[in-house]
Amino acid sequence: MPIFIYHFLKRRTQPRERAGKVGVSIKRVGWDDLFAELQQAGKLFFFMLAVFCLFRVGFIAVLHPFLSEAVTLRDIGAALYYGLRISLKSAGLLVLLPLACCTVLRVFVHTDRLRHIRFYLGATYVVLLSFLFHARIPYYQEFRMAFNQLLFNTLHDDVGAILYTAIEQYNLPLRMLLVGVTAGLLCKLLRRCLDSRVYAFPRLAKWHHNLALRVVLLFFVYHAAVFVSFGGSLTYAYDIDWENSGVTKDQLLNEAILDDVQALYRAYSLHERIASSTGLNMDPQRVADYGRHLAGRPVQSEQVDDFLKKKVAGGQPTPPRQVFLIIAENYANWPLLPQYDNLNIANGLKKIIAQEDAAYSPYFLPNGMSTINAVMGVITGFAEANLYLNTLPEAYREPYSTALAPQMKRLGYSADFWYAGPASWEKIRDFSLAQGFDAFHGMGDIDGASKNAWGCDDADLYKHVLDRVTDDKPGFHVILTVSNHSPYTVDLAAAGFKPELVAAGLPEKMRQDQELIKKLGHFWYADKMLAQFVQEARRRHPDSLFVIVGDHADRVNIEANPPLFERYAVPFVAYGKGVDKAVWPRTAAGSHINVTPTLLELVAPPGFEYCSVGRSLTQGNDIGVNYGFWITADHMGEANGDYREALSLPQGSAPPEPDQIRREVDAVRGVSWWRIKFGKTLQQDDGGGRPPGPIKKAS
């Protein structure tokens, strides 16, 4: 091998050609060719790196209102520096294909046609990156992240409605025009860059000097590749990636550090990590341990459902005749906080909460980042495990043991699902019926309603429900609204909205922001329609119970960088028969997986047996967990990290220990994931046709 390398390095720079096809000749490696191709590859690399840096600066500039007031120029400099480092990886990745198609091929095949391949590939990159840049801005405005695993749910969503929203709210035609202009200008610059001068490989008088020069070139290329692959470092110890790049104290800057390639890679990594339960070490013994933690008692069984069985402790000797469970679109908890009273957009729910027969927990988290995550969590009782329940064949064979509708039907209720949107959205009609509901009512069933691509106005949905619910038999009704959702098309003026009242409660700099006022107006409308429905339904059906919960938050906030609690928490309210202020402790906390046990404790007789992953708030559950966070009455933090914040409504409780949080998060995720993916038993095939063995007894 050393002899081969020696002769390779010592070869003449003028190659000898061999016969080939017309216009193409096969030849040996020439150092002039190699050096020229490396220069061209370098040009493309630095051009793509410059594009990443340009888009990073543009991202920060366009979204600068989201910067916190504590940000300094040093923070921005740090974001640009670490962004440059991580973009070395992205640029290097993009150059690999042109390097293979052009540099390697041209070393062996002599033709001018190959030089165009690099430009076409580079132009393709430029077009894609221009599109991602312009798409990333509204995505951050909506989700406060530069692409995340929610992207993968788009494949299961209503693409037509998404496109309609993009056109109506985000002015898609204009953005596509900007994409075209941006890509066109950059492609011209790329062409000029690649057409610039290429230098010949130096030739020295003595052969051993030439040999040394070639060794230096290969040495430089190798270490340059290492430097790029480690993000500006020559060792793995100082490597930078999407997991350790958030070095500033500002969320926008941390997101700006990731270029679009890295942001997409993060989304993919998180999607795969959750789907495969990476980090949970899932095996039957571990699932059994998690099950015993959730049960709060020693359980010895190989049936998962045995760990999820509970009995109603308090109960309701005379259950309510009608039970309404309202999942309110985008109903965040922050407008209910005292500091936002002047906005006057949540007065309806506040009035309900103030009643003596109402209970309210502000320490409540959504199951996931989107409406479908909330629906899955509420009607199946499972924690978000990134398995897209509505796409799994098993979910349509029989209801899960934790499903809410079948357990309510065991109490004598009929179960109806009322949705303001189309029945085809996320297969919601088929899924809800498969999970035990007797009937489904969608947008197509509501005549004469005001509609957009996502569904009809809340007023029309609630009227449809009121017109069809009777006291002939006990009924359980899940109602899912859509009006408080982009593209925000409700006629607010006709509904009585007064923009000046909301504007008066905003900070001075936001009072002329008509888009924000329109969004807040839709929250006001959703709140008003909800309160009117509850009032009218209570008048018609006095013997009723209402449970109200937001589907998610994290869409609209007054502050650019709100605390975790204000950004993610949703309200959980129970009102009506069997409820009083003391029905659960003031420190009670939870998430969507706690809806089923809490509701059953409010309607079922003592001793009624049911299955659920979560625990009831009426039994003092004091921690809520979801896909990324945990919450108690005093603190909220990241489920997969050490970051935590004190809440603005302290109750005086001590923060949970990190081990307690980790145990709770892993337990609800692990058991949910196993039950969904592998079914009822812990005796799961190991892939070789053999079960993993019996479950050991708990110590």
Give the residue-averaged pLDDT of 618-633: 94
Give the pLDDT score at 158: 55
Q: What is the pTM of this model?
A: 0.74
Reply yes or no on whether the pLDDT at 10 is more than 60.
no
pLDDT of 588: 96
Distance between CA atoms of residues 208 and 231, nearest Å: 34
Task: Check: CB of residue 639 under 8 Å from CB of residue 349.
Answer: no
Given pLDDT bands bounded at 50, 70 and 90, which one contains residue 439?
Answer: very high
pLDDT: is 272 or 178 the higher one? 178
**Residues 432/417, Cβ–Cβ less than 8 Å:** yes
> Does 100 have pLDDT greater than 90?
no
- Give me the mean pLDDT over the 132-146 stretch: 82
Phi, psi of 147 (to 5 degrees): 75, 135
Q: Strands 624-625, 309-311: parallel, antiparallel or unpaired by DSSP?
A: unpaired
**Tens of pLDDT along 631-679?**
999 999 998 888 899 997 667 777 888 888 999 999 999 999 999 989 9
Query: Quick one: tokens of 664?
Result: 């709770």
Lowest mean pLDDT among 171-175, 242-246, 345-349, 385-389: 242-246
pLDDT score for 675: 94
- What is the biggest distance separating any 2 CA atoms in the chain, rounded to whole angstroms? 104
Query: 591 is written with which tokens?
Result: 């998430």
Q: Is 491 exposed, middle or buried (0-12, 13-18, 19+ CB in 10 A)?
A: exposed
102 and 39 in a common domain: yes
The mean pLDDT of 304-310, rounded to a whole number, is 97
Residues 320 and 411 in one domain: yes
Q: What is the pLDDT of residues 55-75, one digit of tens each?
A: 999 999 999 888 888 889 998
Is the pLDDT reported for residue 374 higher than 80?
yes
- Bridge partners of 475? 322, 414
Instruction: Inform me whether the pLDDT recorded for 693 exceeds 50.
Output: no
pLDDT at 106: 64
> Could you tell me if residue 605 is inside a domain?
yes
Decide if 528 is inside a domain. Answer: yes
Q: How confident is the model at residue 6 (pLDDT cuts 50, 70, 90)?
A: very low
Residues 240 and 298 in one domain: no
For the ranges 155-169, 418-432, 619-633, which has the lowest average pLDDT? 155-169
- 213 close to 31: Cβ distance less than 8 angstroms: no
Find, among 328, 364, 316, 291, the residue nearest to 612 by Cα: 291
Query: Do 306 and 264 share a structural domain?
Result: no
Q: What is the pLDDT of residues 355-365, one digit of tens each?
A: 999 999 999 99
pLDDT band at 153 (very low <50, low <70, confident <90, very high): low
CATH of the domain at 624: 3.40.720.10
Domain stop point among 219, 250, 273: 273
Same domain, yes or no: 289 and 370: yes
pLDDT at 275: 59
Across residues 605-628, what is the average pLDDT? 95
Q: How many CB atoms lie under 10 A from the CB of residue 678?
A: 17
CA distance 655 to 658: 9
Instruction: Copy the structure tokens of residue 274.
Output: 């959750």
User: Could you report the per-residue pLDDT of 530-574, keeping only the tens digit for each?
Assistant: 999 999 999 999 999 999 999 999 889 998 889 999 999 999 999
Do residues 533 and 632 both lie within one domain? yes
Burial of 478 (0-12, 13-18, 19+ CB in 10 A): buried
3-class SS of residue 524: helix
Per-residue pLDDT at 27: 47
Residues 348-385 as b or e (16 or more Cβ within 10 Å = b): bbbebbeeebbbbbbbbbbbbbbbbbbbbbbbbbbbbb
Residue 623 has pLDDT above 50, yes or no: yes
Amino acid at 297: R
Q: Which position has the higher pLDDT, 31 or 383?
A: 383
pLDDT of the residue at 8: 45
Domain annotation covers residue 278:
no
Instruction: Read off the pLDDT of each residue in 159-184 and give the average, rounded to a whole number.
Output: 72
Give the DSSP per-residue string, 292-329: HHHHTS----SBHHHHHEEE-SS--SS--SEEEEEEET
108-117, 197-206, 544-553: segment of lowest average pLDDT: 108-117
What gap in Å lies between CA 619 and CA 626, rounded to an integer?
Answer: 20
Instruction: State how far the Cα of 107 lies from the Cα of 38, in Å rounded to an integer.
Output: 11
Q: Please give the sequence-ordered ranges of beta strands (E in DSSP) within 329-438, or none if there are none.
A: 358-361, 364-365, 414-419
Does the pLDDT at position 138 exceed 70? yes
Which of 253, 273, 293 is the endpoint of a domain?
A: 273
Measured in whole angstroms, the distance separating CA 303 from the mean position of its chain's CA atoms is 32
Identify the pLDDT of residue 38: 81
Out of 128-132, 195-199, 690-694, which region has the weakest mean confidence (pLDDT)? 690-694
Partnered with residue 546 across adjacent β-strands are 324, 575
- Least Cα distance to 591 among 451, 310, 382 occurs for 382
Inter-CA distances, 500 with 200, 510, 550, 663, Å: 70, 12, 26, 48
Angle (CA) 529-532-537 rounded to 5° is 120
CB 484 within 8 A of CB 525: yes
Share the mean pLDDT of the chain. Answer: 85
pLDDT number for residue 199: 78
pLDDT at position 164, please? Answer: 54
* pLDDT(695) > 60: no
Alpha-carbon distances of 21 from 26, 101, 113, 574, rounded to whole Å: 9, 19, 14, 81
The answer to whether residues 572 and 360 touch, using CB atoms and an 8 Å cutoff, is yes
Residues 501 and 587 in one domain: yes
CA-wise closest residue to 93 among 128, 60, 58: 128
Are 442 and 588 members of one domain?
yes
Please give the pLDDT value at position 87.
92
Predicted pLDDT of residue 113: 64
Q: How confident is the model at residue 276 (pLDDT cuts 50, 70, 90)?
A: low
Same domain, 343 and 237: no
pLDDT of residue 404: 98
Question: Do residues 226 and 161 share a domain?
Answer: yes
Q: How many CB atoms lie within 10 A of CB 16?
A: 8
Shared domain for 313 and 376, answered yes or no, is: yes
Q: Is residue 2 in a domain?
A: no
Q: Is residue 343 part of a domain?
A: yes
Residue 7 pLDDT grade (very low, low, confident, very high; cuts 50, 70, 90): very low
User: Which of 211, 465, 425 shows the shortest CA–CA distance to 322?
Assistant: 465
Lowest-pLDDT choice from 2-6, 140-144, 350-354, 683-687: 2-6
* pLDDT, mean of residues 400-429: 94
Helices and strands: H and E segment counts in the chain: 23, 18
pLDDT band at 495 (very low <50, low <70, confident <90, very high): very high
- Angle at CA 663, nearest 5°, toward 646 and 332? 45
Q: Which domain holds residue 339?
A: 284-678
Q: Is the pLDDT of residue 263 over 70?
A: yes
How many domains, the chain?
Answer: 2
Mean pLDDT in residue range 157-171: 57
Question: Would you give the distance in Å from CA 437 to the centre of its chain?
Answer: 28
For the purposes of burial, counting CB atoms within 10 Å of the CB of 68, is it exposed (0-12), middle (13-18) or buried (19 or more)?
A: middle
Query: Does the residue 20 lie in any domain?
Result: no
Task: Verify that 454 and 511 share a domain, yes or no.
Answer: yes
**The pLDDT of residue 23 is above 60:** no
Q: Fill in the amino acid letter for 251.
A: Q
Residue 248, pLDDT > 90, answer no
Beta strand pairing call for 629-631 and 635-638: antiparallel
